[in-house]
Amino acid sequence: MTRSADPASSPAPDPSLPTPKERRGLREEAGLTLEQAAVAVGVTTSTVRSWEAGRTAPRGRKRLVYAQFLARLGAPAEPVPDAASDPVAATAEAARPAHPPRTAEPAPPDPRTDPPDPRAGPVRPPGATEPEAAAAPDGPPPPRTRAAPEGPEALEAPGAAEAFDELYTRAASGLVRQTYLLTGRRLLALEAVDKAFTRAWDQWPEVATDPDPVGWVRALAYEYALSPWNRLRRTHRHPDQPPADPADRILLDALLALPSVHRRTVMLYDGVGLDLPDTAAETEATTPATGNRLLHAHADLADRVPELADVPPEKHSAVLRELLGSLRPPFGLEPRPAAAVRGGGERRVRMWTRATLSLTAMITMATAYTATTAPTRYEPPMWPGESVSGVPPLSGPQRLTERSQELRDRLRADPEAGPARVAPRIE
């Protein structure tokens, strides 16, 4: 006899959650901080930060509690419920301010407490210079782009080419400037960014669904620019012309004097504006190790840069961020157009495809020719003749003497058979 399933004991299906951007928007519209949201759900602040950034997702009971919390935030205002009947809703309502702000615009997040939105670029504190705008100080800042969809919505995007061009327009100039500050070489910076975006176009389905496409391309460009094999190339063996401003020249020389790992850490934390955990994740190191690298790099830069030597250590990041944003290279750092990058990648794919097909055709023809002309039975090899030394030459028969010739004539004259041959007669 089969046992009937008990509806009360069967596990409830996992509720659906809004996108990470919508989760953060609901919390900010309600005027709640990360600490208040964490208290309402019963988790830590870093856990809520990870949920809103899209790095992790809640599971089990925490998912159900978080879904109820977001549903309460999105629902219209109701009377405060009883804490005994719904403790999650009561905590959320208690944490909600009595007078919500009139404006719909949320306050700018703090990069030390709130993680940056992976689809909206790195979050920077007020007064800091945007890396994209710092890359082209003479031109207008690049236009803001809409957030990339997640999950199945990414497959319904308007077009891959348009999305790639939008990403390239938004991030290429800033990446070229960052790689120039990492290497001090203009051609290497342009080449690294070009290679990174070409690789991104070749693997566009993966990049389009990535939570941080700019970080995906940035990590690839940094790896290519800081590769030790570039020092063996004659084109990139020596740095380019230094900046005209002495302060910029001192700062660039101090950056290039740092180890490549410290240089990359400083660029991500102070130049791009990532927080310490994200910087550690991108450099594939632990957070304490990344903090130690940052402290050592700041100390080395303070010994070389006068602007950093006059400020306390806790203000090194802010001063260094301003110095990196105001550094002007002695030449332009304009990347190629997005269409040229896409066309170069497509031409390379076509070239490799044709080369593969040609090689396959040559192998097929060689195999067919070998199968046609190969012998069907075993044929012993013909050994070539060899010259032998030490053998006297053939001289032929010698001339007969008179006695020998007489004996030969007598033998020839005698009968060949008969008794006369056995019993010779006496002459």
Render pLDDT for 384-393 as a digit per residue (tens, 0 to 9).
888 878 777 7
Q: How confident is the model at residue 30 (pLDDT cuts 50, 70, 90)?
A: confident
Asked whether residue 50 is assigned to any structural domain, the reply reads: yes
Asked whether residue 52 is assigned to any structural domain, the reply reads: yes
Q: Note the pLDDT of residue 351.
A: 83
Asked whether residue 254 is assigned to any structural domain, the reply reads: no
Q: What is the mean pLDDT of residues 266-292?
A: 91
**The pLDDT of residue 145 is above 50:** no
35 phi/psi in degrees, rounded to 5: -65, -40
Asked whether residue 132 is assigned to any structural domain, the reply reads: no
Q: How confident is the model at residue 9 (pLDDT cuts 50, 70, 90)?
A: very low
- Top-confidence residue, 371 or 10: 371
- Top-confidence residue, 281 or 108: 281
**Do 116 and 123 contact (CB within 8 A), yes or no?**
yes
Asked whether residue 27 is assigned to any structural domain, the reply reads: yes
Question: CA 240, 339, 167, 206 torsion: positive or negative?
Answer: negative
**Do 328 and 248 contact (CB within 8 A), yes or no?**
yes
Asked whether residue 302 is assigned to any structural domain, the reply reads: no
- Top-confidence residue, 375 or 158: 375
Q: Note the pLDDT of residue 407.
A: 86
Q: Which of 23-27, 141-145, 394-398 has the highest mean pLDDT?
A: 23-27
Q: Note the pLDDT of residue 264.
A: 93
Question: What is the domain-level CATH number for residue 41?
Answer: 1.10.260
Q: Domain residues for 74?
A: 20-95
Query: What domain count does the chain have?
Result: 1
Mind listing the pLDDT tens digit for each residue in 154-163?
433 458 888 9
- Residue 232 to residue 257: CA distance in whole angstroms: 18
**Do 199 and 162 contact (CB within 8 A), yes or no?**
no
Asked whether residue 79 is assigned to any structural domain, the reply reads: yes
Asked whether residue 164 is assigned to any structural domain, the reply reads: no
First-to-final CA distance of the chain: 140
* Mean pLDDT of all residues belonging to the chain: 76
Q: How confident is the model at residue 367 (pLDDT cuts 50, 70, 90)?
A: very high
Q: How confident is the model at residue 14 (pLDDT cuts 50, 70, 90)?
A: low
Average the pLDDT over each of 102-111, 306-315, 384-393 and give the range with the smallest value: 102-111
* Cβ neighbours of residue 85 closer than 8 Å, sequence gap 6 or more: none
Q: What is the mean pLDDT of residues 349-368?
A: 89
Could you tell me the pTM of the whole model? Answer: 0.48
Q: What is the mean pLDDT of residues 372-385?
A: 84
Q: Note the pLDDT of residue 421.
A: 61
Q: Note the pLDDT of residue 427.
A: 57
**The pLDDT of residue 178 is above 90:** yes
Mind listing the pLDDT tens digit for each residue in 199-253?
899 888 889 888 889 999 999 999 999 988 887 888 777 778 888 888 888 999 9
Q: What is the mean pLDDT of residues 2-15?
A: 47
CA-angle at 128, arms to 37 and 223, nearest 5°: 90
- Residue 141 to residue 134: CA distance in whole angstroms: 9
